[in-house]
Amino acid sequence: MTQTRTETASEPPPDKPETTVPEAEEPVRSIRAFVMILIALLWPLEVVSLSYNLVVPAATDVAVHFRTQQVGWLFTVLTLVGAVAGPIMTKLGDIHGKKKVMVFGAAAASVGGILAAMAPNFAVLLAGRALQGLLLPLVALSYSLMRDIFPARWVAFSASLTVGGTGLVTVSGPFIAGYLIDNHGFRAVFWLLMAMTVIAFCGLLAVPESDVRARSRLDWPGATLLGIGIGLVLLGLSESTTWTWSSFKTLGCVFGGLALTAVWLAVERRTREPLVDLGLVSRRPVLTTIVVAGLAYGAVGAYTTILPMMAQTPRALGHDYGFGSTAMQLTLFTVPAGIATTVPSFVVGLYMRRIGPRLPAIAGSTVMTLAALYTALWHSEKWQVIVGFTVLGAGASLVYAAIPNLVIEASPADQQGITAGMTGLLQTLGSTAAIQVVFVVLLQNIGVLVQGSPVYTDSGYAVGFVTCAGLAFVAVVVGILIPHGRPARQTEETLAPA
């Protein structure tokens, strides 16, 4: 029988050890087992989203209790640890088994949850949040593991839910956080996160392990260089609004991190067993997928950051915009968007094998472009903002469903984890960088200062939303260049010998 080679398959060069990829045994055969294991794999991803959404409403109470002005580090340290640990944990998953690494991440995050809930001071709370950051790489590991243990007919649907399904958290998170904080204090939020993480840990113990292994060792020098480099870049970007872009700390972190990343790239090309196969990543299927993911997540991250700021501004200060919304009143905007983020990914997932993930990626980015442009033009009434946010959520849902499937199709089974990990890293970088870009735009459009806090002009927000649209539009263009992810029948005809 002749084996058809595709562009996503790669043979190791002669100077590299061969990898063994055994035939998948498909340990998950029954529908009941599939549903139970799917829930066990999706549950940690809901906890990842709640690690942000539940803590945002609690941030003010945390700042008051610990008498700190550095409360933003509750999220910075979580993102930094997740980004730095991502390539390492996903590579270890390829080498030693994805389930093992996921169990480790959930166990460490459970300990972090206890530290955060019982923290006697802010430093201990940050240590707990750092450990909770080890949950973030589980997103990439989860759909990589699905590829290995689920029958092929179930993989596309399952992978579509790994990100899109988290829209449910957007719906429930603000209500849960509001109730807990009002009735039990901010620590109740961290206790709930801890309990949910322990449940995730227990659920992962019942998940079958993958048989797929990469015969290689972890490139610790490369992992260290990449981790420090990316960590510095993210730190500089995250703190740039506090430190200012002209400060030595911001420039030192960003350019120092970029320099270390450049050194890492040079070292990786000479390493016999690199952390990342740069040859694979630079090929068109993986490269275009990663770029689309970074641009799309950047557009969503920037949009969802500035829209609440605009809605919470009192109309008397904003003149042509603003509704003076409280944190709880913001649910009027976030709940419809959360529903819109959930439903399309579920529906598209059911038909993903038939339509292929490339089309949803392009269509979703197009919808996001139009939604951001709409919001830039019309945002003076609540219903206009709700419509814009909801449409953007629907577009994002299509992209969220497509990206894991594009990654699965673009990467060999034995490099699935690290490819997904690098995609996740670019998503984090794209989102963080895009948020800072729109803040630079806003800072050029300050209308008035109220007690030292800037109130931005209407045109400033308009340009910010146009920036989001620009990112999404570039994602459309790059998405068109994606060579894979087409309908199964079309792919088979393309690969068939003449």
- Residue 395 backbone class (left: φ over 0; alpha: ψ -120 to 50; beta: rest): alpha
d(CA 105, CA 152): 27
Which of 134, 141, 145 is CA-nearest to residue 83? 134
Confidence of residue 473 (pLDDT cuts 50, 70, 90): very high
**How far does the chain reach from its first CA to its final CA, in angstroms?**
16
Residue 40 has pLDDT above 80, yes or no: yes
Contact 404, 139 (CB under 8 A): no
The stretch 141-157 carries a mean pLDDT of 89
Mention every residue, 6+ apart, whose C-beta is less than 8 A from residue 184. none
Question: Model confidence over 69-88: pLDDT tens digits?
Answer: 788 888 889 988 998 899 99
> DSSP secondary-structure letter at 415?
G
Joined tokens for residue 475: 């994602």
Contact 10, 280 (CB under 8 A): yes
| pLDDT at 135 (0 to 100) | 94
Confidence of residue 99 (pLDDT cuts 50, 70, 90): very high
Confidence of residue 489 (pLDDT cuts 50, 70, 90): low
Question: Model confidence over 102-121: pLDDT tens digits?
Answer: 999 999 999 999 999 999 99
| pLDDT at 284 (0 to 100) | 92
Calculate the average pLDDT of the chain: 85
Residue 496 has pLDDT above 80, yes or no: no
Residue 454: beta bridge partners?
Answer: 449
Contact 314, 126 (CB under 8 A): no
DSSP string of 232-290, one letter each residue: HHHHHHHTHHHH-TTSHHHHHHHHHHHHHHHHHHHHHHH-SS-SS-HHHHTSHHHHHHH
Q: Sign of dihedral through CA atoms 224, 230, 235, 236?
A: positive
* Three-class SS state of 207: coil
d(CA 264, CA 278): 11
How many other CB atoms are there within 10 angstroms of residue 342's CB atom? 23
| pLDDT at 316 (0 to 100) | 81
| pLDDT at 27 (0 to 100) | 57
The stretch 472-479 carries a mean pLDDT of 96
Confidence of residue 303 (pLDDT cuts 50, 70, 90): very high
d(CA 417, CA 300): 24
Residue 1 has pLDDT above 80, yes or no: no
Instruction: Calculate what percentage of the chain has a pLDDT beyond 90.
Output: 40
pTM: 0.83
Q: Sign of dihedral through CA atoms 237, 242, 247, 249?
A: negative
Question: Model confidence over 317-332: pLDDT tens digits?
Answer: 767 888 888 777 888 8
| pLDDT at 28 (0 to 100) | 57
Measure Cα distances from 77 to 55, 57, 102, 127, 234 in Å. 13, 17, 20, 9, 10
Question: Model confidence over 190-203: pLDDT tens digits?
Answer: 999 999 999 999 99
Q: Sign of dihedral through CA atoms 245, 251, 252, 254?
A: positive
Q: Which amino acid is at 188?
A: A
The stretch 50-66 carries a mean pLDDT of 84
Instruction: Calculate what percentage of the chain has a pLDDT beyond 70.
Output: 90
Residue 371 has pLDDT above 90, yes or no: yes
Joined tokens for residue 172: 């429930």
Question: Model confidence over 231-251: pLDDT tens digits?
Answer: 999 888 888 777 888 889 989
Q: Confirm or reject CATH 3.90.1150.10 for domain 277-498, answering yes or no.
A: no
Mention every residue, 6+ apart, whose C-beta is less than 8 A from residue 318. 310, 447, 455, 458
| pLDDT at 498 (0 to 100) | 39
7/35: higher pLDDT: 35
Residue 169 has pLDDT above 70, yes or no: no
d(CA 361, CA 108): 34
| pLDDT at 403 (0 to 100) | 93
Are β-strands 453-456 and 446-450 bridged in parallel, bridged antiparallel, or unpaired? antiparallel
Residues 29-217: name the CATH superfamily.
Answer: MFS general substrate transporter like domains (1.20.1250.20)
**Least confident interval from 38-47, 148-157, 318-327, 398-407:** 318-327
